[in-house]
Amino acid sequence: MEFTRVQRQEADEVVGFLTAEEWPFHTEPKPDGDAVRARVAGGAYDDAFWIADGPDRLGLVRLLDLDDGTPLFDLRVRASARGRGVGATAVRWLTSHVFTNYATNRIEGTTRQDNHAMRRIFSKAGYAKEAHYRDAWPGPDRLYDSVGYATLRRDWETSTVTSVDWPG
C-alpha cells in the first residue's frame, strides 16, 4: 500500500471520494460536496493522505491537531476495500508517520461503540482503550457511546501496549 499526500488541487477527487458512499460511523455520514470543497480549499486536508494500492484509491486518512501535542485522525476506507487489512495498515502507517515527523507523545482516536471493525483496528495497531463516554456520539436515530483509544510514543518504540490502570 502507498500513502500520498492530498493536494489542494485534488478537491474534486476528495469530494468524489467522500460523497460516493455513506460513512455510517461518522458524525457526517453523507458529506456535502460544497462543504468538503470549502474545507479542502481552507487547508483542512493539508495533512491528509490517500491510501492506494497501485492506481486504486482505497481510502483517505486525515491527521488533525498535529500542533497541540495529541493528534487525532479521521480514517475512511471504501466499503469495497474493507475487511482486507487496509484500516490496520493505515493506522500503523499514520502512527509511524506522526511519531517519526512530529514531537508528540501520543496519538488518539475515537469511534462509535458499535463500530467493531474500527475497534479491532485500534487493537491490531497497538492502541489501548482509554475512554468510554456514554451517550456522547450523535447518531441518526439515537445517541451512541463514544470509545477512545490512544497509543504512546514509548509503546510504539517498544512494540508494546501499556495497560490502562482503571481505578474504581
pLDDT in tens, 106-161: 999 999 999 999 999 999 999 999 999 999 999 888 999 999 999 999 999 999 99
Domain membership of residue 165 (yes or no) is no
Q: Is residue 167 part of a domain?
A: no
State the Cα–Cα distance between residues 21 and 32, nearest whole angstrom: 12
pLDDT at 167: 80
How buried is 137 (Cβ within 10 angstroms: 0-12 exposed, 13-18 middle, 19+ buried)?
Answer: buried
Q: Tell me: the pLDDT tens digits for 73-112?
A: 999 999 999 999 999 999 999 999 999 999 999 999 999 9
Residue 149 lies in a domain: yes
Q: How far is residue 151's CA from residue 2's CA, in Å, rounded to a whole number?
A: 23
Residue-number span of the structural domain to which 128 is assigned = 2-158
Give the CATH number for residue 26: 3.40.630.30
Report pTM.
0.93
The domain tally of the chain equals: 1
Q: For residue 90, give the nearest of 115, 65, 131, 127 by alpha carbon.
A: 127
pLDDT above 70 coverage of the chain, percent: 100
Q: Is residue 164 included in any domain, yes or no? A: no
Asked if 130 contacts 148 with a C-beta cutoff of 8 angstroms, the reply is yes
Residue 147 covered by a domain: yes
Decide if 45 is inside a domain: yes
What pLDDT, on the 0 to 100 scale, is given for residue 97? 97
Residue 8 lies inside a defined structural domain of this protein = yes
Coarse DSSP helix, strand, coil percentages of the chain, rounded to the nearest 5 percent: 35, 30, 35
Residues 96/107, Cβ–Cβ less than 8 Å: no
Q: How many of the other CB atoms lie within 10 Å of CB of 83?
A: 10
Q: Give the pairing type, strands 56-64 and 72-77.
A: antiparallel
Inside any domain, residue 166? no
